[in-house]
Amino acid sequence: MFLSSLIQHVGHFDVGNLCGKFVWGALDDVVMGGVSESAFQIQPTGSETGEATGLFKGTVSTSNNGGFTSIRTKNFTVPEDLSAYDGVELRVKGDGRRYKLIIRTSYEWDTIGYTASFDTTKGEWQSVRIPFSSLIPVFRARTATDAPPFDASNITALQLMFSKFEYDGKLNPTFAEGQFELPFSSIRAYINEPITPRFVHVSSAGVTRPERPGLDLSKQPPAVRMNKELGSILTYKLKGEDLIRESGVPYTIVRPCALTEEPAGADLIFEQGDNITGKISREEVARLCVAALASPSAVGKTFEVKSTVPFSEPFVIDPSNPPPEKDYEVYFKELKDGITGKEALEGTPALV
């Protein structure tokens, strides 16, 4: 009841890569007896490129001890998990005023908001980056010193505000009573450059083969031949890969061939397209996964990997002459985007 009585001018607007559609509504100083008034509108062709733009506009007044206006999203049905990102970027057309972005991590209505102020340049479109590390826990314009750290994995609502007040009694130096408007075309999560994988997933070689037309299953590893008997494990692994590829999170998908307890150090073969068979050390897979986390070249890549040692030959290391450490970056740089092995299932050519 409280929510519905405060939110007016409700509208939908796509917000970058944070969510499909958010419901925005006005939340102004009327909650404390003020008379300020704002609205959320959609301008169908208001952006730089003639596409849809959200518009935060209104009239702010200090009468009756007021002095702020805002628009806030309805609480998300499922919290947004942005823990893989470094912050939020807004694309706005400034009016020379200072605004606030408030990110909420609780479904309670009147609670702490993690807040950052940002300045705008009058008449210019600009990108405003707000690192999560810069957010201040605030409750009713007061810093909440005992608040828990910001949890980027549990974002429940967003809010834009124009206010007379900064924090802890300080005032907004750009505040002026009267009309204002702030068009914004996107609110996106961002990752600092250079972008490296935030998620490295160990899958399996063979995930695309059980349903591949024309494949001689008798020449495939047991997991491929017996996929149905094993509960369609490879089929579900492929579905998991697809979800990762579609998530928007920078990823690397590693498909090892048969895993062994042998030591790391053998020469390796990296392939794409899901065709190879062989074996590889678990220790080697662990090492290359750690290396992938630091490699921009590994972002968005799906690949298979095995050692050059045949199944029939054990791999051992001479302690007096250990193999040199590998530079996995040499392998990552040769990988190509868009090759998953699903091309053979979908009848589309692999990228070369």
Alpha-carbon span 128 to 276, nearest angstrom: 46
pLDDT, tens digit, for every residue of 92-124? 999 999 999 999 999 998 899 999 999 999 999
pLDDT, tens digit, for every residue of 211-227? 898 888 888 999 999 99
**Which is higher by pLDDT, 351 or 328?**
328
Alpha-carbon span 23 to 46, nearest angstrom: 19
Q: Which two tokens stand for residue 195?
A: 């972008």
Alpha-carbon span 75 to 24, nearest angstrom: 10
In Å, how far are 17, 284, 333 from 316, measured between CA atoms?
A: 48, 13, 28
pLDDT, tens digit, for every residue of 228-244? 999 999 999 999 999 99
CB atoms within 10 A of CB 45: 9
Cis peptide bond prior to 194, omega within 30° of 0: yes
- H-helix or E-strand spanning residue 44: none
Is 109 in contact with 7 (CB distance < 8 Å)? no
Give percent helix, percent strand, percent coil of the chain, each to the nearest 5: 15, 35, 50
Structure confidence at residue 347 (pLDDT) = 60
Query: Is a pLDDT exceeding 60 seen at residue 20?
Result: no
SS3 338: coil
Cα-Cα end-to-end distance for the chain: 58
Structure confidence at residue 18 (pLDDT) = 52
Structural domains of the chain in order of their starting residue, each with its CATH number: 24-190 (2.60.120.430), 199-344 (3.40.50.720)
pTM higher than 0.85: no
Burial tier of 155 (Cβ tally within 10 Å: 0-12, 13-18, 19+): buried
Calculate what percentage of the chain has a pLDDT beyond 90: 81
- Over residues 25-37, the mean pLDDT reads 93
Closest CA to 316 of 258, 265, 278, 259: 265
Residue 141 backbone phi and psi in degrees, to 5: 65, 15
pLDDT, tens digit, for every residue of 153-185? 999 999 999 999 999 999 999 999 999 999 999
Query: Is a pLDDT exceeding 50 seen at residue 350?
Result: no
pLDDT, tens digit, for every residue of 122-142? 999 999 999 999 999 999 999
- Over residues 7-22, the mean pLDDT reads 45
pLDDT, tens digit, for every residue of 247-306? 888 999 999 999 999 999 999 999 999 999 999 999 999 999 999 999 999 999 999 999
Using the structure block, give the residue that is written with the tokens 């807004």: 90
